[in-house]
Amino acid sequence: MQKATGEVESGRDITFDTTVINIGEAFHAESGIFVALETGSYRFSFTAESQDNGPEVQVVVNGQPEMLFTHDADLDLFPRGFHSDVWQMNLLKGDFVNLYLLSGNFNVDGERQVYVSFIGELITTM
């Protein structure tokens, strides 16, 4: 999923306006939720650009915080920080995963092709 327009504000779920590939309809862009269609091991990735030092992104599973990614950048050297996280987790069929921006902000500019993106894929069934 991608967010190409609007803002990504802290203290809110990260939602999206574009779904590029959605095999099985597991992604729900408006809510930012990925639903596990099978019990198995899943790989996720998240990318974003920020002009803020220290955005914190929380991975939420079934409404409960599961992990936290914190990003620090030297904004004197680099005016924009690029954030990229990849993780793997085991999910049961019907589990749902979303991202929550705990603090900071992310840049979104479709004209410059600066997106916030979230990818999920089934690696193996269990």
Describe the chain by its helix, strand, coil percentages, rounded to 5.
5, 55, 40
User: In sequence order, which residues have a C-beta less than 8 Å from that of residue 5 and are 6 or more positions away?
Assistant: 17, 108, 110
* pLDDT at residue 18, as a whole number: 82
pLDDT in tens for each of the 126 residues of the chain? 666 566 777 898 988 888 888 889 999 988 999 999 999 999 999 988 776 667 889 999 999 999 998 876 665 655 566 778 999 999 999 999 999 999 887 776 655 555 788 999 999 999
pLDDT for 51 equals 67
pLDDT at site 32 = 92
CB 34 within 8 A of CB 96: yes
Q: How far apart are CA 105 and CA 107, in angstroms?
A: 7
What's residue 58's pLDDT? Answer: 95
Check: pTM over 0.75? Answer yes or no.
yes
| Residue ranges covered by each domain of the chain | 2-125
The predicted pLDDT at position 5 comes to 62
Query: Would you say domain 2-125 falls under CATH 3.10.150.10?
Result: no
Number of other CB atoms surrounding residue 89 within 10 Å: 16
